[in-house]
Amino acid sequence: MKDFKLINKSQEIIKITLINLALLLVFLELGSLGWYFFKHKQFFYTRQKAQDKSALGINLEGVRLNQSIVERFHPFFGFIQKPGPDFRPGFKINNYGFISPYDYPFKKIKKNQFVIGIFGGSVASDYSIFQIQNKILPQYLKQVPGLQDKEFVILSFATGGYKQPQQLLILNYFLALGQELDLVVNIDGFNEVALSNINNKNQIDLAMPSNQHILPLISLANNSLSTKAMQATLRIKENKTRINEGLESLQNCSLAACDALTSVYVQNLVNSYRRDVIAFEKEGGKQQQDDEGSVIYINKNKSVLEDSAAFEQMAWNWAKSSIFMHKVLSASNVPYFHVLQPNQYYQTKRVFGDAEKRIAFNNDTPYAQSVEIGYPALLSKFPNLQKNQINILNGVKVFDQTKDAVYVDSCCHYNQAGNVIFSNFVGSSILESLRKDEARSNKK
């Protein structure tokens, strides 16, 4: 009899426990639904599922999920990304370290193929990927007489951290290899002032590749990378794997509670990743006291240049490099378009929402002052560029008319909405210029 009562009591406890657990799960799901709606402004169950990991609500600023923290030296380009397959669906890091569906040099296999080369840094690299996926620039070019039936092939010669004269050198290198180009777009400006200024502060020649990228490589080449830097590298590698796995799980969540808990987990991993990146850069980027034994030579300055002199030199490096890109391309009648990219630290009439401000601005970034001083220096060279017949497109105000968030980090990169606006600006500007050239040609 006692055993029977004990069984009944145990069943009652299990029943109450299950009911409480069910209620807990219901309340957790309801709370998660509210949290998701507050964060994304849409209902979880009827949401439009994100195709891009950057749209999952995780702040991935500075997280290079598909790239190594340390690039590879290249004897002509300075540095490249490590070649490898499956960068993302339809793309790889090709034989020269560029994100592209193709290896280079690309050879035309059809007479109607029209090859567009994109040059610059990470914004230009993102732009080329966006054009291949969305074909906004080709849609504009199809409105040009003679281009209606062309098959547009977009080739990226852009990599994060590149700055002039790297674009000029890369262009000449591939032209020497026989790369055919029918139109070239160079998107730059930010790296030329932001990264060159970091070079200056470290007494590295302004025209040398980015100090941020080459110093860790020099330490590796000299076998002088510290134990702390190597440990940070291992932690970064492990965290990237976990972050990618977490983002995959987040894309496949069928309950709001799953989304909420996984989001917290992944964001904590991202925060740890950032701490390790800072540790790596602090250790890997340290200058050697005596570098006479280094196997890598870089040009240095005897002292840090004053801002006025440094930014003037940066602007001339930028302008002259563009002029020479135009000259070499014009010899083959290849249209060249140079775009000054927009950046949040160059003040225009744009009004930022509170949510975007938290993403787009960082009080501790070294880039803000570089852009504030550097962009006016670049803009001062527009008359000289125009005098040399450069098709220079000023993109600094392209986001002024939108209230939507367009920046995804506190550096320089754009989200889907920003890429659409920027792509339409570039496409429409190129179309307008080509139409003017056609009209002038018809008058002759």
Q: Which of 43-47, 239-243, 359-363, 424-428 has the lowest mean pLDDT?
A: 43-47
Confidence label for 230 from pLDDT (cuts 50, 70 and 90):
low
Determine the pLDDT at residue 65: 61
pLDDT exceeds 80 at position 426:
yes
Which secondary-structure segment (H or E) carries 46? none
Distance (Å, rounded) from C-alpha 284 to C-alpha 278?
10
- Terminus-to-terminus CA distance in the chain, angstroms? 111
pLDDT > 80? residue 175: yes
- Reported as a single tens digit per residue, the pLDDT across 315-364 is 999 999 999 999 999 999 999 999 999 999 999 999 999 989 988 898 88
Q: Between these two residues, 190 and 28, which has the higher pLDDT value?
A: 190
The identity of residue 312, as a single letter, is E
Assign domain 83-203+308-443 to its CATH architecture. Answer: 3-Layer(aba) Sandwich (3.40)
The model carries a pTM of 0.79
Mean pLDDT calculated for residue range 291-299: 74
Is the pLDDT assigned to residue 27 strictly greater than 70?
no
What letter does residue 97 receive in the DSSP assignment?
A: S
Angle between helices 256-284 and 2-40 in degrees, nearest 10: 60
Strands (E), 33-175: 72-74, 78-80, 84-88, 91-93, 99-100, 113-120, 151-158
User: Nearest to residue 324, comparing CAs of 314, 333, 336, 306?
Assistant: 336
CA distance 240 to 118: 28
Task: Report residue 60's pLDDT band, with 50, 70 and 90 as the boundaries.
Answer: low
196-211 burial string, b = 16+ CB within 10 Å, else e?
bbbbbeeebebbbbbb
What does the pLDDT read at residue 170?
A: 98
Q: Is the bond into 105 cis (omega within 30 degrees of 0)?
A: yes
Strands 84-88 and 91-93, by their bridges, are antiparallel
- Confidence (pLDDT) at 403: 92
Q: Give which of 243, 216, 213 is closest to 232, Cα–Cα.
A: 216
Q: Is the pLDDT of residue 280 over 70?
A: no
Using CA atoms, how far residue 394 sits from 116, 189, 330, 336, 343, in Å, is 20, 10, 21, 14, 12
Q: Is 123 exposed, middle or buried (0-12, 13-18, 19+ CB in 10 A)?
A: buried
- Determine the Cα–Cα distance for residues 251 and 245; give it in Å rounded to an integer: 10
Domain extents in the chain = 83-203+308-443
Q: Given this model, what pLDDT does residue 295 score?
A: 77
Q: Which whole number is the average pLDDT over 167-187?
A: 98
| pLDDT above 60 (res 5) | no
**Residue whose pair of structure tokens reads 């139109």 in the numeric block:** 183
Rounded to 10 degrees, what is the CA torsion of 287, 222, 204, 375? -100
3-state helix, strand, coil in the chain (%, to 5): 50, 10, 35
User: Residue 414 — very low, low, confident or very high, per pLDDT cuts 50/70/90?
Assistant: very high
In this predicted structure, which of 79-83, 144-148, 185-189, 259-263 has the lowest mean pLDDT? Answer: 259-263
